[in-house]
C-alpha cells in the first residue's frame, strides 16, 4: 500500500518543510487541490459529500508549489487531487507539467477531473456540458506533447494544425482520473489510474468490479493501474490492509483541515505525520 498525504489548505510557507518531513518518514507522496477563481454566489453543490466551498479559501497553483517541494526532497511523489482540466487549454497545462516533471526528475502525476463547479468553468470561458469531451481531447493532445513535443488534432472541442512545444517530459507522466460516474471510470480505464473519494470499505468490491470491467472494455486489463482511494471516516492499519487485499493500491490520508484539533503550526503537522508513519508503516 502506498500512502499519500493531502495538503489541502496547508499554509504555503510550511509546504517545503512538510514535504521534507514526509519524504524522510517514507510517505509515498503528497497531493494538492485545484481551483482558479471562486464566484461568491453559486448554485452548484459538491457531489461527493456535504461540503460548502468557502470562496475565500486559499488554493495555490499546484505546479510551482510542487516544483518548490521537489527541490527540497529526493523520493517524494507529487500529484493533483484533482486538477480541473476542462477549464483550461491544453498547451499551457502541458508546458507547466513538463517543466515540473523535468525539475522533479519525473516525480509528478497528473490527477484530473472534469469539475463540478459550473460557475468557475463558465467564468473561465468553457462550456460546462461539454467538459467531459473537452477533457478527453485535452488529454490526447497533452500526451502527444509529453512524449513527442508535437501535436495536431481536429476534434469536436479542439481543432488546430501541427504545433511544436518543446521540451518533452523526459519521464512518464501518469494520468489518474477522478470521479465516481461511469464516464469517469471509463476515462480512467483508458489511462493509468483512478482516484476516488469517500468510499466505505464494504463499497469497494463493487467498485473494483466496475473498474475491472472498464479496463477490459478499454483493452487494458492486466496492465499496471493505480487505484487511489480516500476511505470514508476514521481508518486504521487494519482498514488499510483490507483495502489493499481488495485491490486498492494507494490511500489518501486526510488533511489537517479535516482533522479535529489545532494543526496550525508546522510542528503540529510534523508530529501528526510522525505518529501516522509510526502507526502505519514505521
What parts of the chain have a pLDDT lower than 50? none
- Domain borders along the chain are 2-280
Task: Count the Cβ atoms, other than its own, within 10 Å of residue 275.
Answer: 11
pTM given for the model: 0.96
- Per residue in 261-282, pLDDT tens? 899 999 999 999 999 999 998 6
Residue matched to cell numbers 469531451: 133
3-state secondary structure of 29: strand
Provide the β-strand partners of residue 23. Answer: none
- Per residue in 138-166, pLDDT tens? 999 999 999 999 999 999 999 999 999 99
Give the pLDDT confidence score for residue 282 in this predicted structure: 66
Give the pLDDT confidence score for residue 179 in this predicted structure: 94
The DSSP code for 192 is: S
Q: Domain 2-280 maps to which CATH number in 3.40.50.300, 3.20.20.30, 3.40.50.2300, 3.10.20.600?
A: 3.20.20.30
Q: How far apart are CA 196 and CA 238, in angstroms?
A: 20
- Per residue in 31-61, pLDDT tens? 999 999 999 999 998 877 677 789 999 999 9
Is 75 in contact with 22 (CB distance < 8 Å)? no
Q: How far apart are CA 65 and CA 11, in angstroms?
A: 11
Provide the β-strand partners of residue 79. Answer: 31, 109
Amino acid at each position: 500500500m502506498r500512502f499519500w498525504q493531502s495538503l489541502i489548505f496547508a499554509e504555503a510557507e510550511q509546504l517545503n518543510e512538510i514535504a521534507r518531513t514526509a519524504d524522510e518518514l517514507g510517505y509515498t507522496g503528497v497531493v494538492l487541490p485545484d481551483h482558479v477563481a471562486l464566484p461568491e454566489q453559486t448554485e452548484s453543490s459538491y457531489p461527493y459529500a456535504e461540503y460548502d466551498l468557502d470562496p475565500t479559501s486559499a488554493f495555490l497553483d499546484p505546479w510551482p508549489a510542487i516544483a518548490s517541494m521537489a527541490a527540497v526532497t529526493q523520493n517524494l511523489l507529487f500529484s493533483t487531487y484533482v486538477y480541473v482540466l476542462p477549464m483550461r487549454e491544453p498547451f499551457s497545462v502541458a508546458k507547466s507539467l513538463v517543466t515540473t516533471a523535468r525539475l522533479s526528475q519525473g516525480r509528478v502525476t497528473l490527477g484530473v477531473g472534469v469539475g463540478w463547479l459550473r460557475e468557475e468553468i463558465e467564468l473561465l470561458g468553457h462550456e460546462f456540458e461539454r467538459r467531459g469531451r473537452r477533457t478527453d481531447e485535452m488529454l490526447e493532445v497533452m500526451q502527444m506533447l509529453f512524449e513527442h513535443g508535437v501535436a495536431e488534432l481536429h476534434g469536436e472541442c479542439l481543432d488546430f494544425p501541427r504545433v511544436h512545444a518543446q521540451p518533452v517530459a523526459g519521464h512518464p507522466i501518469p494520468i489518474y482520473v477522478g470521479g465516481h460516474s461511469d464516464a469517469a471510470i471509463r476515462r480512467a480505464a483508458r489511462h493509468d489510474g483512478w482516484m476516488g473519494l469517500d468510499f466505505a470499505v464494504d463499497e469497494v468490491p463493487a467498485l473494483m468490479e466496475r473498474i475491472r470491467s472498464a479496463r477490459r472494455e478499454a483493452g487494458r486489463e492486466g496492465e499496471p493501474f493505480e487505484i487511489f482511494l480516500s476511505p470514508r471516516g476514521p481508518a486504521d492499519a487494519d482498514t488499510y490492509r483490507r483495502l489493499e487485499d481488495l485491490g486498492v493500491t494507494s490511500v489518501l490520508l486526510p488533511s489537517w483541515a479535516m482533522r479535529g484539533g489545532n494543526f496550525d503550526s508546522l510542528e503540529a503537522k510534523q508530529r501528526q505525520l510522525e505518529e501516522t508513519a509510526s502507526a502505519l508503516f514505521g
